[in-house]
Chains A and B, each alone.
Chain A
């Protein structure tokens, strides 16, 4: 193991790690915002409300992220309407394509987590809220969603870690995040084992910090206190 090389390239790898964090942070937050209406619709009692998010979730969970990324980054250029459209400056850049794809991808998974969480809210609590004269919307916002957020939080933290790992795919569309940076460095140093090892340690470190962070958040939201039925 050539430690000097690792230390020499550490700053560049850290640069890549920052981009990785940026991609993941934007994707999981935007994905969550997108997933909330989808998760609520997915838990609806009416089949026609359920159908659309179901199709979306089925497509995004059933195909690899790499395919989705290529569909957006390479695929959209096939249509003249998009190339002449106002969004083309964004859809041309790998950065925005990666963010768009990761957001759409994770939104499908988060929506499914949210559906499970909404359906796991004890029926009695919903009925109690209704009995107190809350409207359906009020019940949703004051009772069901806060409760579902706590039920779904552990699964959401898993999803964030999965997205951290999935963000390495952004290197296939020329983005220099952690994996992309590692590949660039290897192209110059020809030391794959050392550099990939260092990049792997970065991922482990980030995952470790995220796990710790979510544990603090769970304590702050008193997730365990809500588990008693």
Chain B
């Protein structure tokens, strides 16, 4: 083992930063998609229910790696058509954008179920109370349902975020320079695959631990005023 990592330390650090950026942007996209999916699934309209259900079922049944590859390689023709339409020379999805979209879609599909559970867990009386006070439907959702959903959905979302963070490694397959890609580059020149992949593994472990600590505080904050029920 060589502890100065042959000067690849800064490169790995840059890769870590890229991983964090990717995870956070996929998280933002996924939260929006998940919320929309859950709203569609719990809505009284049949077509919307069907749409939400199909989205979460199909996306969850297909591997994340396939989504990453599909979004990256599958949109080339689409982007070309779009470029022709807009009259731009060339238009293509960067590896970062493709990774964000693919991982966001996958996160959203699982988050749909988590959010749906949270919406259903809110007592009906709260919604009725809002109606009795004359609040409009969107207002009831924003001011009454959403703030309470957050607390119930947080543990589930936390688990999903940990999975998302590990899935960011898949985006190295399409060449995004995150931790895995940087370690692969380091391996080609140092010829020490075990060392560098082990370092990568420990970086991921560190990120997981950080996320766990962050989640612990978020959960503590969001459950202020609630007694933790036993069992």
Task: Point out residues on A near B: beta carbons under 8 Å.
Answer: 58-59, 62-68, 70-71, 74-79, 161, 164-169, 171-172, 179, 182-183, 186, 192-193, 196-197, 199-200, 203-204, 207-208
Kindly state the interface size class of chain B when it binds its partner.
35 or more
A66/B170 in contact, CB under 8 A? yes
Q: Residue of B at shortest CB range from A82?
A: B194
* Interfacial chain B residues near A161, Cβ < 8 Å: 61
* Interfacial chain B residues near A65, Cβ < 8 Å: 166
Contact with B65, one of A62, A74, A179, A193 (Cβ below 8 angstroms): A179
Q: Is B82 an interface residue (CB 8 A)?
A: no
* Interfacial chain B residues near A63, Cβ < 8 Å: 166, 201, 204-205, 208
**Interface SS of chain B: helix, strand, loop or mixed?**
helix
Contact with B194, one of A78, A167, A168, A197 (Cβ below 8 angstroms): A78
* Interfacial chain A residues near B133, Cβ < 8 Å: none
* Interfacial chain B residues near A204, Cβ < 8 Å: 58, 61-62
* Closest beta carbon of chain B to A188's beta carbon, Å: 14
* Interfacial chain A residues near B69, Cβ < 8 Å: 179, 183, 192, 196
A78/B169 in contact, CB under 8 A? no
From 160 to 193 in chain B, residues with beta carbon under 8 angstroms from any chain A beta carbon are 166-170, 172-173, 180, 184, 187, 191-193
* Interfacial chain B residues near A197, Cβ < 8 Å: 70
Contact with B66, one of A67, A71, A79, A179 (Cβ below 8 angstroms): A179
Tell me, in angstroms, the Cα distance from A68 to B166 when the chains sit together.
11
* Interfacial chain A residues near B51, Cβ < 8 Å: none
From 10 to 49 in chain B, residues with beta carbon under 8 angstroms from any chain A beta carbon are none
Given A63-B204, A67-B201, A196-B70, are A203 and B170 also a contact pair (CB < 8 Å)? no
B73/A171 in contact, CB under 8 A? no
B204/A64 in contact, CB under 8 A? yes
* Interfacial chain B residues near A196, Cβ < 8 Å: 66, 69-70, 73-74
* Interfacial chain B residues near A62, Cβ < 8 Å: 204-205, 208-209
* Interfacial chain B residues near A58, Cβ < 8 Å: 205
A207/B61 in contact, CB under 8 A? yes
A192/B66 in contact, CB under 8 A? no
* Closest beta carbon of chain B to A56's beta carbon, Å: 13
Q: Residue of A at shortest CB range from B165?
A: A64
